[in-house]
Chains A and B, each alone.
Chain A
Amino acid sequence: MRRWIENAFRLGVKEFASLSRDVVMVVLIGYVFTFAVYSEATAMRTDVNDAKVAVIDGDRSTLSGRIKDALRPPYFRPAVEIDRSSLDGLMDKGAFTFVLDIPHGLEADFLAGRNPAIQVNVDATSISQAGVGTAYIQEIVAQETTRFLKQASVETLAPVNAVIRAMFNPNLEAISFTASMGVINNVTILAIILVGAAVMREREHGTIEHLLVMPVSASEIIAGKIWANGLVILLAAAFSLHVVVEVVLRTQIVGSIELFLAGTAIYLFAVTSLGILLATVANSMPQFALLSIPVFVLMFLLSGSFTPFESMPRALQLIMDLSPSTHFVRFAQAVLYRGAGLDVVWRDLLIMAGLGAGFVAIALYRFKAMLARQS
C-alpha cells in the first residue's frame, strides 16, 4: 500500500511537469477561470437585462405616459415610441423583444371599470426573457396603475397586500448565479479534457505501455493522473471563486467555500475518472475529442446550471442523474446560494463519489484491453 501511494504520488508529480511545459494550455486554464468567468457573469446581471422595449401609445393619457416612463433599466432599456405600421418590420429584425400596444381610450375605459387591456407583443424566440419579461411588464403596469389610482383617490378592489421577498439573493441578481455556475462548467470541461487527453497522449506516445512493464499498476497510473490534474483544477477553481467571483465581481457567497471546495474535490474525482474512461474507449486523439464533445456539452447544458433541472422531461432527468455534474450543480447551489450544510448535501456527495468509483472501475477494466487494441 505504501508503494502504491508513493508511485501514485510520483506519477502525479510528473503530471505537473507535463502541464507546465504546455504554455498554451496553462494560458487557457488561466483564461477560463478568470476572464471567461468574469465576462460570463457581467454579460447577464439579471435574467431580463436591458431588454429592448417599444410602446405604441394610442391613448396619450396620463396613465399611458406613466406606464411608458416606468419601463426603465436595469430590466429594460428606456422605451422607444414607435408607430403601429412599423411594428411587424421592427419585430422581424429583432429590434425589440417587447412592444406594448396601448389602445385609444385606455384611461377612460379603465376608470369606468370597463376592464380594458394592454396588448404586449412578445418575441417568443427569446425564450428565456419572454416569460419573465412579460411578468415584469405586468408588475410594472400594476404598480403604475396602483399609484395612479392612489393619486386619483379612487377605491379599488385589491384584497391583499402581497409582500414578495427573495431569500439568499434579495435583488434576484443573476450575476452571483452565473459566475459560480461558470466556474462549475469550466471545472467540468477542463477535468474531462485535461485528464482524458493526457491519457490519450501517453497512449499515443507509448509511455503508458512502458510504465506497465515496470512495477507500476494501472491503478497507480490512473490515481496519479486524477490527483494531480484534479488538484490543479481545484486550485484554479478556488482562486476563481475567491478572487474573481468574490473580490472582482463583489458577489456575496452565502455558504461555506471550504465545504464547496471539498465537494469540488469529490466531483473532480468523478469527472476526471470519466475523462479517463472516455480515453480508454476512443482509439485516437481525434476520436477522443469527438467523443468528449457530447459528454461535456450535455453536462454543461442539462445539469441545471443553465436551465432549471425540474423543467426537463422525467426520462431525461433520470438519465442526467447518472451524470456527476447534476449532483454537483445541486450541491453547489445548496451550498453557495442557500448556505446549506453537510446535513443537506451529503446525499449528492455520496452519489458523486459512487459514480466516480464506478467510472474508475470500468476504466481499469478497459485499460488492458485498450493497450492490446492499439498494438
Chain B
Amino acid sequence: MEAEPATAVSLWGVQHAYGKVIALRNLALTVLPGCKLAIVGPDGVGKSTLLGLIAGVRRIQRGSVNVLGGDMASAAHRNEAAPRIAYMPQGLGRNLYPTLSVYENIDFFARLYTQPDDGRRRRIDELMRVTGLFPFAERPAGKLSGGMKQKLGLCCALVHDPDLLILDEPTTGIDPLSRRQFWTLIGRIQAERPTMTVIVATAYMEEAGAFDRIVAIDDGTIIAEGSQTDLLARTGATTLEQAYIELQRPERRGVRAAPSVPRLEPDGGPPAIVAEGLTMRFGDFTAVDHVSFRIERGEIFGFLGSNGCGKTTTMKMLTGLLPATEGRAELLGKPVDARDISARTRIGYVSQSFSLYEELTVRGNLELHGRLCGIGGNVLRERVDEALSRFELGKVAETLPDALPLGMRQRLQLAAACLHRPDVLILDEPTSGVDPAARDRFWSLLLEMSRRDGVTIFISTHFMNEAERCDRVSLMHAGRVLAVGAPRELQAARKAASLEDAFVAYLEDAAGTGAGEPSVNDEAVGVVEPTSVRLNNNAEVAQTPRLASMKRIWTFARREALELSRDRIRLAFALIGPLLLMAAFGYGISFDIEGLRYAALDRDQSLESRAFLDQFSNSRYFVEQARLNDDVEIDRRLRAGELKFAIDVPPGFGRDLLQGHRPEVGFWLDGGNTFPAETARAYILDTLQTYAGVLARAANRANGLPAETLRVEPRFRYNQDFRSVVAITPGSIMLLLIIFPAMLTALGVVREKEMGSIANVYASPATVGEYLLGKQLPYVVIGVLSYLSLLAFAGGVLGVVPKGSLLALSLAALVYVYAATAFGLLVSAFVSTQVAAIFGTAILTAMTAAHYSGFLIPASSLEGPGRIMGLSFPPLWFQTISLGVFAKGLDTPAFARELLVLAAFALGFLLLARLLIRKQGA
C-alpha cells in the first residue's frame, strides 16, 4: 500500500448547483487523516451535497475533490478508493433492504466489498455484538426501530473496514438512549482505529461538541471552523447551539421563544384528547399496549420514546386512521370516528415521513390542502401567503418539494397542517432533521398557537430541549407509557441532572425489567468488551479482479433472490399468472367459427326456394334466425349485430332455376368484423357447391359434364385437425415469456431509484454492469422455471407436445428469457417512475408480442412499421423456434440464425441499460 497521504480529504474551489439553485459555492476544506469532523448547518445549505461529493456518489461540477490521495473526478481513482470509503446516506435506513434480515443486510455489504468468505461470518457477528443487534440477527430490517436501523446502517458501513467514514445525519430521528449508544460506538471504533477519518453531518449541536473539529456551513460556504472551545470563545455563548445561532446571518436567527408564558385557562369544556386503555395489535405483535392519557385544551403535550415504540400508531388511532383493537379514544369530547368528516376539520396532522405531493409545488400543495379543507377564494390566498411567510417558504413557493431539504419539507407539512386553523394539532416528529434555528422558530410558532389561540398540540419528538418546552410529556417504550408529567417533575422524580438523563434512566429501568428490546442497551451496560471492536485488518486478501467482479455479480444476484423469496405473493403471481393465461388462450382463442347466425328473406316461397334455403339451415356452420320480411329488416337486424349475414332469394327463383336461367341470390354480410365475415363467405361458397352437387345428382347429369368449378382439397399440415390450441400454444409461450420476466425485472432498478438503495451501488466498488448482471440473474431463473411449468402444462393439460428438439427449444427459451429480462432492465434504466415502468413494459411487450410476432398472424405477411417492429424485438425470433419445434418437429441446426439474433438482443439491451445508468448522482 502507498504511503498515507498528508490529508484524507482536501477540497478546493468546489461549486455545485442543482439547476438554478446553488448548493455549494467556492468551498475549500482540508481534513487530516484520523480527524473527527462535524459539519453543522441548517438544512439546504449543502451539507449532504458536500458529503456526497467526498463519497464519490455525486458528479463533481467545478473544483477539485481529493480523497485518500487521489482525484475523485477520475473514475479509476474512485474505483480504487471505494473499498476504503464508507458512506451512510441521510434518511433512516434508506440504504437498507427492508425485507432482508439484519444479518443478510450486513452480509450483502460485506460481499459487495468482496470480503473473503472465511471470517466474514465471524466479523459480522462481532459487529452485531458490538452494536447490540446480535439477538435480532434474523429480524427483517424494515421491522427494526429507528435507532436499530441506524446501527445496522453503521454495521453495513463498517463491515469493509474503511479508512474514511462518512455519515450524513446518522442520529436524526433516534431516541436519546440509542443516540448515546451510537456515539459511544463510533468513539470506540475510532479509538481502536485512530487512523480512520470520520466526517459527520449532524443537526444535534450537543453531538458536534464531541468532535475534534466543527465546520459550520451556511449558504454553501463555511462560516466558521474550529473546535468547540474556539467557537464558544468566539461567540461568547455557553452552548454550541447558541453559538451556532449567533454565527448565522442575523436574518436567519430565530427569536428565542419564551417558554414561560402561562397556559390559557381551560374554558371548562371537555379535554382535547382522551385515551383510555388504547391497544393496537398487528397479528401477535402488540404495538400499543393499554395506553391512557388525557390532554387538556391548549396544552402542549410531548410524546417521547424510541422509534418503533408505538408513538406513531397511537397518533394514527387518535386521528381515526387506524381502528383501535381495544380501548377508547376521544377527541374534543367525541369518540374518534373515522367516518366523522366534520371532526377532521378540527385536526391538523403531520406524519413522520413526507406525505404531501412531490409533483405539486409548495404553493400548489398548500392550496390543494386549503381547498380540501373547504377554504376558498380570497381567504385561501391570504392564508397561503401568510403560511408561506410565517413558515419562511416564500422563496421556494414555486419549487417542488423534492428539491427541498428535509427541514423545509417538514416546515411545509406543518404549514399545511395549520392552514385550516385546527383546534388540535397532532405532530409526529415534525422537527426531525430540522436545524436548531429553524426548530426554535418552529417552537415559537407552536407556543404562539397554543398560548394565543388555545390550540392543543400533541407532539412527538426526540429533542430533549423541545420536550422541556412542553407542558407535560409522556415517556413511551415498547408500546407502554412509562411516565407522564411535567418535565421538571419527571426530572425531580429521577433526581436526574437533565430531562434526557431522566428519560435514559426510565428506559434503562424498562429494559432491566425485560420489556421490549433489552439488548439495545447491552453495550451501554458495558457487557461488550472493547477488544471485540478490533477490526480485522487482514481481511483484505488479494483477489484477481475478475474473481472479485464475479463475486460482486453473485452478491447482487443473491440479494435480489433473497428479497424475491421474501415476497411470496409476487413469486406466486409470477409463476401462476402465465399458467392461467396459457389455459385461457388454449381454450379461449379459437378461429373455429361455427353457428353463424343468419336469416333468410324468401320472396319466392316456392318448393325450390325452400329446398335451396334448407341447404343452409341443415349446415352445422349456420344457425337460422327468425325469417326476414322486408329489405328494411335486413339492414336493421344486421346493424344490431343480430345476424352475421342475410340471404335474399328473389321472386321467381324456382321458375328461373328450373328453366336454367341461373337466378341471382343476394347474400348480405356484416362486414364490420372482417374475420367472421370472411369465414361466413367461405362457408357460403362451400354450401353453394354442395347444393350444385345435389342438384346435379338429382338431374342425373353429373357424368360427362364438367362441374362449374374444380375441386380443391386442402391438406392442413402440422396441425391436421386444424385445432386452434396447437397453433396457439407455441405462441402463448412466446408471449408469456416476454411479458412476465420483463415486467418483473422492469421494476427492479427504478424501484431502487425511488427507494434510494441505489446509492449503495454508487458508493461501492461495484460497476453498473455487475449490478445489472447480478440483478438480472434471479429473474432469469424465474423465467426458466416459468418456461418449464408452461411446457409441462402444454403437454400435460393441453395435450400439445413438442415434436422437434426439446433441447433446441429449451436453449432458445433460456436465451429468450435473458433477452426479456435485459429488456426489463432497459425500461427500468430509462424511466423515472414505477408507474411508467409498468405501463411502458406492458405496452411494448404485450403489443409487440401479440401483434407483430406471429402469434396469430404469420409474421411473414406483415408490412409497414409493424413488420419493422416485429423484426426489431425478440418475440418474433423466438416464435419461429417455438413454432418450428412444437408443430413442425424441427431440430437445432435449423435455428442457428434465430438463436444468434436472440443472443444479440440480450446483449444489446443490457449494453444500452448499462449506458443509461450513470454511476453517480447529479
Distance of A261 from chain B, by nearest CB (Å): 18
> Is A47's CB under 8 angstroms from B678's CB?
yes
Residue B667 interfacial (CB < 8 Å): yes
> Is B681's CB under 8 angstroms from A7's CB?
no
Among the listed A122, A167, A310, which residue makes an inter-chain contact with B669, where contact means beta carbons less than 8 Å apart?
Answer: A167
The A interface is mostly helix, strand or loop, or mixed, namely helix
What chain A residues lie within 8 Å of B347 (beta carbons)?
A: 213
Chain B, Cβ-Cβ closest to A220: B372
User: Given A113-B705, A215-B341, A298-B584, are A129 and B861 neighbors across the interface (CB < 8 Å)?
Assistant: yes
What chain B residues lie within 8 Å of A168 (beta carbons)?
A: 638, 670-672
The CA of A310 and the CA of B666, in the complex, are separated in Å by 25
Residue A111 interfacial (CB < 8 Å): yes
Residue A212 interfacial (CB < 8 Å): yes
Q: Which of B5-13, B294-302, B831-839 sits within the interface?
A: B831-839
Q: Which of A155-163, A236-244, A264-272, A357-365 sits within the interface?
A: A155-163
Among the listed A135, A197, A212, which residue makes an inter-chain contact with B839, where contact means beta carbons less than 8 Å apart?
Answer: A197
The CA of A312 and the CA of B356, in the complex, are separated in Å by 48
Residue B290 interfacial (CB < 8 Å): no
Among the listed B344, B667, B711, which residue makes an inter-chain contact with A117, where contact means beta carbons less than 8 Å apart?
Answer: B711
Residue-by-residue, is B366-405 near A (CB-CB < 8 Å gives 1, otherwise 0)? 0011011110000000000000000000000000100000
What chain A residues lie within 8 Å of B676 (beta carbons)?
A: 308, 310
The CA of A138 and the CA of B714, in the complex, are separated in Å by 9
What chain B residues lie within 8 Å of A217 (beta carbons)?
A: 341
B779-838 contacts to A, CB under 8 A, are 830-836, 838
Residue A350 interfacial (CB < 8 Å): no
User: Given A138-B682, A209-B321, A213-B321, are A287 and B570 neighbors across the interface (CB < 8 Å)?
Assistant: yes
User: Given A167-B638, A210-B351, A313-B588, are A215 and B739 neighbors across the interface (CB < 8 Å)?
Assistant: no
Q: Which of B225-233, B249-257, B473-481, B844-852 sits within the interface?
A: B844-852
The CA of A71 and the CA of B237, in the complex, are separated in Å by 99
The CA of A291 and the CA of B360, in the complex, are separated in Å by 29
User: Given A170-B671, A302-B584, are A118 and B710 neighbors across the interface (CB < 8 Å)?
Assistant: yes
Chain A, Cβ-Cβ closest to B350: A210
> Is B355's CB under 8 angstroms from A209's CB?
yes
The CA of A206 and the CA of B354, in the complex, are separated in Å by 8
Among the listed B573, B589, B684, B726, which residue makes an inter-chain contact with A125, where contact means beta carbons less than 8 Å apart?
Answer: B726
Chain B, Cβ-Cβ closest to A3: B374
> Is A290's CB under 8 angstroms from B372's CB?
no
Distance of B672 from chain A, by nearest CB (Å): 3
Among the listed A118, A159, A200, which residue makes an inter-chain contact with B712, where contact means beta carbons less than 8 Å apart?
Answer: A118
Chain A, Cβ-Cβ closest to B701: A157
> Is A172's CB under 8 angstroms from B711's CB?
no
Chain A residue total in the interface (Cβ 8 A): 155
The CA of A288 and the CA of B847, in the complex, are separated in Å by 19
Which of the listed residues B313, B356, B740, B843 has the most CB atoms from chain A within 10 Å of its own CB? Answer: B843
The CA of A182 and the CA of B836, in the complex, are separated in Å by 20
Residue-by-residue, is A215-246 near B (CB-CB < 8 Å gives 1, otherwise 0)? 11100000000000000000000000000000
Residue A256 interfacial (CB < 8 Å): no
> Is B321's CB under 8 angstroms from A24's CB?
no
> Is B570's CB under 8 angstroms from A286's CB?
yes
What chain A residues lie within 8 Å of B685 (beta carbons)?
A: 135, 138-139, 142, 162, 164
Among the listed A18, A129, A169, which residue makes an inter-chain contact with B857, where contact means beta carbons less than 8 Å apart?
Answer: A129
What chain B residues lie within 8 Å of A286 (beta carbons)?
A: 567, 570, 744, 747, 751
Among the listed A25, A112, A291, which residue makes an inter-chain contact with B835, where contact means beta carbons less than 8 Å apart?
Answer: A25
> Is B839's CB under 8 angstroms from A330's CB?
no
A138-167 contacts to B, CB under 8 A, are 138-139, 141-142, 145-146, 149, 154-167
What chain A residues lie within 8 Å of B832 (beta carbons)?
A: 22-24
What chain B residues lie within 8 Å of A197 (beta carbons)?
A: 834-835, 838-839
> Is B662's CB under 8 angstroms from A158's CB?
yes
Residue B488 interfacial (CB < 8 Å): no
The CA of A24 and the CA of B835, in the complex, are separated in Å by 10
What chain A residues lie within 8 Å of B341 (beta carbons)?
A: 215-217
Distance of A287 from chain B, by nearest CB (Å): 5
Among the listed B681, B720, B865, which residue makes an inter-chain contact with A135, where contact means beta carbons less than 8 Å apart?
Answer: B681
The CA of A189 and the CA of B842, in the complex, are separated in Å by 8
Residue B665 interfacial (CB < 8 Å): yes
What chain A residues lie within 8 Å of B735 (beta carbons)?
A: 297
B860-904 contacts to A, CB under 8 A, are 860-867, 869, 880, 883-884, 887-888, 890, 894
Among the listed A116, A122, A292, which residue makes an inter-chain contact with B717, where contact means beta carbons less than 8 Å apart?
Answer: A122
Distance of A223 from chain B, by nearest CB (Å): 13
> Is A167's CB under 8 angstroms from B670's CB?
yes
> Is B884's CB under 8 angstroms from A92's CB?
yes
B645-669 contacts to A, CB under 8 A, are 657, 662-669
User: Given A24-B830, A344-B640, are A157 and B707 neighbors across the interface (CB < 8 Å)?
Assistant: yes
> Is B705's CB under 8 angstroms from A155's CB?
yes
Distance of A190 from chain B, by nearest CB (Å): 7
The CA of A113 and the CA of B751, in the complex, are separated in Å by 74
Residue B80 interfacial (CB < 8 Å): no
Chain B, Cβ-Cβ closest to A298: B584
> Is A18's CB under 8 angstroms from B705's CB?
no
The CA of A309 and the CA of B838, in the complex, are separated in Å by 28
> Is B706's CB under 8 angstroms from A49's CB?
no
Residue-by-residue, is B667-692 near A (CB-CB < 8 Å gives 1, otherwise 0)? 11111111111110110111010011
> Is B696's CB under 8 angstroms from A157's CB?
yes
What chain B residues lie within 8 Å of A80 (beta carbons)?
A: none
What chain B residues lie within 8 Å of A48 (beta carbons)?
A: 678, 861
Which of the listed residues B316, B359, B884 has the most CB atoms from chain A within 10 Å of its own CB? Answer: B359
The CA of A130 and the CA of B405, in the complex, are separated in Å by 64
What chain A residues lie within 8 Å of B345 (beta carbons)?
A: 215
> Is A300's CB under 8 angstroms from B846's CB?
yes
Distance of B586 from chain A, by nearest CB (Å): 11
Q: Which of B444-452, B591-599, B906-914 sits within the interface?
A: B591-599
Among the listed B712, B751, B880, which residue makes an inter-chain contact with A94, where contact means beta carbons less than 8 Å apart?
Answer: B880
Residue B223 interfacial (CB < 8 Å): no
Distance of B88 from chain A, by nearest CB (Å): 23
User: Given A131-B679, A214-B369, are A311 and B836 neighbors across the interface (CB < 8 Å)?
Assistant: no
> Is B351's CB under 8 angstroms from A209's CB?
yes
> Is A117's CB under 8 angstroms from B712's CB?
yes
What chain A residues lie within 8 Å of B686 (beta carbons)?
A: 135, 138
User: Given A164-B667, A339-B639, are A312 and B590 neighbors across the interface (CB < 8 Å)?
Assistant: yes
A115-135 contacts to B, CB under 8 A, are 115-132, 134-135
Residue A70 interfacial (CB < 8 Å): no
Among the listed B323, B672, B846, B890, which residue makes an inter-chain contact with A372, where contact means beta carbons less than 8 Å apart?
Answer: B323
User: Given A47-B674, A344-B639, are A210 and B349 neighbors across the interface (CB < 8 Å)?
Assistant: yes
> Is B706's CB under 8 angstroms from A113's CB?
yes
Residue A84 interfacial (CB < 8 Å): no
User: Given A46-B674, A47-B675, are A131 and B682 neighbors across the interface (CB < 8 Å)?
Assistant: yes
Residue A353 interfacial (CB < 8 Å): no
What chain A residues lie within 8 Å of B29 (beta carbons)?
A: none
Residue B364 interfacial (CB < 8 Å): yes
Distance of B37 from chain A, by nearest CB (Å): 34
The CA of A130 and the CA of B682, in the complex, are separated in Å by 12
User: Given A28-B839, A49-B863, A162-B665, are A94 and B372 neighbors across the interface (CB < 8 Å)?
Assistant: no
Residue-by-residue, is A179-217 near B (CB-CB < 8 Å gives 1, otherwise 0)? 000000110011001100110110001110111111111
> Is B715's CB under 8 angstroms from A122's CB?
yes
Which of the listed residues B720, B850, B858, B880 has the most CB atoms from chain A within 10 Å of its own CB? Answer: B858
The CA of A126 and the CA of B726, in the complex, are separated in Å by 10
What chain A residues lie within 8 Å of B590 (beta carbons)?
A: 307-308, 311-313
> Is A167's CB under 8 angstroms from B359's CB?
no
A-B contact pairs, 5 of them (CB 8 A): A63-B710, A124-B718, A212-B321, A311-B592, A337-B670
Known: A14-B364, A125-B883, A337-B670. 13 other contacts (CB 8 A): A10-B368, A97-B858, A117-B710, A124-B727, A138-B685, A158-B662, A164-B685, A197-B835, A289-B841, A308-B591, A334-B641, A337-B672, A375-B322
The 5 closest A-B pairs by CB, nearest first: A43-B866, A135-B682, A337-B672, A166-B671, A169-B671
